[in-house]
Amino acid sequence: MKLPKSIKKLTDNIWEIPESYKAGMNVPVRIYASEKLITEMDEGVFGQISNVAALPGITGPAYCMPDGHWGYGFPIGGVAAFDPETGVISPGGIGFDINCGMRLIRTILTVDEVRSRIRDLVDKLFKRIPAGVGTTGFVVISRDEFREVVESGAQWCVKNGYGVEEDIDLTEEKGCVAGADASKVSASAIERGYRQIGTLGSGNHYLEIQVAKPVNIYDPKLAKTFGIDIPNQVCIMLHCGSRGFGHQVATDYLHTFLSVMGKKYDITTPDRELACAPFRSQEGQDYFAAMKCAINMSYVNRQVILHRVREVFSDVFHRDPADLGLHMIYDIAHNTAMLEKHIIDGTEREVLVHRKGATRAFGPGSTSLPAVYRNSGQPVIIGGSMETGSYLLAGLGSGEQTLFTTAHGSGRTMSRRQAKKLHNGKQLQHDLEERGIYIRTASYSALAEEVGEAYKNIDDVVAVTENTGISKRVVRFVPIGNIKG
DNA sequence: ATGTAC
């Protein structure tokens, strides 16, 4: 829309809003976008990311990724690091859906083997993986066991038969961030969460059957390292988060922060949606520990869904999951705040990095990566709309410029309401089936909201990340089946 | 995103 007058074009794909743009800004803003993408961004993005630059203790530019759009407090695609001693933690910088993230699973099946059974496969996945608002899962545990689950993360899944060690190794943070403390989580969050393990959710959450066509392999060597080396290989990509549990944790602490921010800590923010607390305060540390529970819940959620995927594939293809090569490629969050070491003003420091609708993308050599990917860079999973395709990228050393962060998806360009006005869910399902994408959905109106037209072009988004060196293309996937919340 | 709002 309307670009701020003072915005400066640093390169074809990097734009800067100077500190002078708005009173109170402590640092400049850097937006990663092509001319086309930045003019497509809603005006709110510039104001929102400039507000982030005004938060106390921010250690460098506030960043916005090319898929950025308007969100609660921070824009989606917003990235900001804070000094742990002088800075803040803000739920609006993480998102209500804490550890909303992506998981990518490979198979040794080809598109021909899968297409002939796609209806059966998608129908069974739809039946076995609860989707939609308010659904509960098949994992029956007590509230107290749930408290243990959110502290121990994906390892709980392996102990209880929902996965194998290899899955854990291929999950970011090995499926468990240290320091999760369930005593910092409210009873209502536990109540909402304890029956939601293994459920997909609603909105833009989905599970998709995809194909890696030979023409869409951009880096065969990296693709092979990530396990994509069969022509027209079928993969499964899923997008979901911490459900009502994470939502409640975010809501609880937003309220807490609003009540103490000004009165107790004398912090003012340009927008009350940026409610925050000093990271080192009791309230800040409590939220950090509770948020980590939601991060772990989400890793567990996606792990249990993987278990279900293995069961369904095994059932449909009458083969053992191991014979179908159902291995994880990676699992990565895009809504978190993490303490990480980065080079800030020339020296290595520990900072609290908020990523909201933005994906961590460590480069080759990072000790955070599993041994199998250590030399290749971190797999980055980018979900596109159900019509246009998705990407597997890899992190690069030059990602340091954005605290090793890249995009997370397409990013909306059209409001949900507008999408529903222009499209009918049932018709869309029919049209997509004619184009070779078989979809089951929990809600036809939710399906209409996710129409491809409502999203930015994923190829444009990925091109910016590659042109700026914050990640590189490895494989592009196209969908043939989808279950939607 | 969300038992889609106090």
Is there contact between A191 and strand B, defined as CB under 7 Å from any strand atom? yes
Please tell me whether residues A129 and A89 are part of one structural domain: no
**Which of A349, A377, A402 lies at the terminal end of a domain, its last residue?**
A349
Please tell me whether residues A252 and A375 are part of one structural domain: yes
Is there contact between A204 and strand B, defined as CB under 7 Å from any strand atom? yes
pTM here?
0.98
For residue A290 the two structure tokens come to 């509770």
Please tell me whether residues A105 and A91 are part of one structural domain: no
Is there contact between A372 and strand B, defined as CB under 7 Å from any strand atom? no
Task: Establish if A135 belongs to a structural domain.
Answer: yes
**Which of A296, A315, A349 lies at the terminal end of a domain, its last residue?**
A349
**Which of A320, A349, A378 lies at the terminal end of a domain, its last residue?**
A349
> Smallest Cα–Cα separation from A91: which of A240, A276, A282?
A276
Please tell me whether residues A30 and A162 are part of one structural domain: no
Please tell me whether residues A123 and A198 are part of one structural domain: yes
* The residue to which tokens 């850097």 are assigned: A30
Å between CA of A205 and C1' of B1: 9
CB < 7 Å to strand B — which of 308-367 in chain A? none
Please tell me whether residues A17 and A146 are part of one structural domain: no
Containing structural domain, residue A253: 101-341+350-484
Please tell me whether residues A466 and A428 are part of one structural domain: yes
Within 7 Å of a protein beta carbon, the nucleotides of strand B are 1-4
Q: Residue with CA nearest B6 C1'?
A: A255
State residue A206's pLDDT score. Answer: 96
d(CA A447, CA A428): 8
Task: Establish if A301 belongs to a structural domain.
Answer: yes
Task: Establish if A2 belongs to a structural domain.
Answer: no
CB < 7 Å to strand B — which of 119-138 in chain A? 133-134
β-partners of residue A352 are: A82, A339
d(CA A342, CA A78): 17
Non-local (6+) Cβ contacts of A462 within 8 A are A382, A391, A393, A407, A473
Please tell me whether residues A91 and A105 are part of one structural domain: no
Non-local (6+) Cβ contacts of A276 within 8 A are A55, A56, A88, A89, A90, A91, A92, A93, A257, A261, A267, A269, A284
Domain with A145 in it: what CATH number?
3.90.1860.10
d(CA A63, CA A448): 31
Is there contact between A77 and strand B, defined as CB under 7 Å from any strand atom? no
CB < 7 Å to strand B — which of 242-301 in chain A? 243-244, 247-248
User: How many domains, chain A?
Assistant: 2
Is there contact between A92 and strand B, defined as CB under 7 Å from any strand atom? no
Task: Establish if A28 belongs to a structural domain.
Answer: yes
Please tell me whether residues A214 and A122 are part of one structural domain: yes
Is there contact between A67 and strand B, defined as CB under 7 Å from any strand atom? no
> Smallest Cα–Cα separation from A392: which of A463, A307, A477?
A477
State residue A386's pLDDT score. Answer: 85
Q: Residue with CA nearest B3 C1'?
A: A134
State residue A1's pLDDT score. Answer: 63
Task: Establish if A3 belongs to a structural domain.
Answer: no
Å between CA of A57 and C1' of B4: 34
Which string of b and e fits A81-99 if b means at least 16 CB within 10 Å?
bbbbeebbbbbbbbbbbbb
Å between CA of A243 and C1' of B4: 13
Is there contact between A465 and strand B, defined as CB under 7 Å from any strand atom? no
Is there contact between A90 and strand B, defined as CB under 7 Å from any strand atom? no
Please tell me whether residues A70 and A118 are part of one structural domain: no
Residues of A designated as active site? 408
Task: Establish if A22 belongs to a structural domain.
Answer: yes
Please tell me whether residues A298 and A327 are part of one structural domain: yes
Please tell me whether residues A329 and A358 are part of one structural domain: yes
- pLDDT beneath 70, residues of chain A: 1
Task: Establish if A480 belongs to a structural domain.
Answer: yes
Return the half-sphere exposure (C-beta side, CA atoms, 13 A cut-off) of residue A323: 8
Q: Residue with CA nearest B4 C1'?
A: A133
Q: Side by side, which strands form the sheet with A62-69?
A: A8-11, A14-17, A29-32, A62-69, A76-82, A347-356, A335-344
Å between CA of A245 and C1' of B2: 10
Å between CA of A248 and C1' of B5: 14
Task: Establish if A1 belongs to a structural domain.
Answer: no
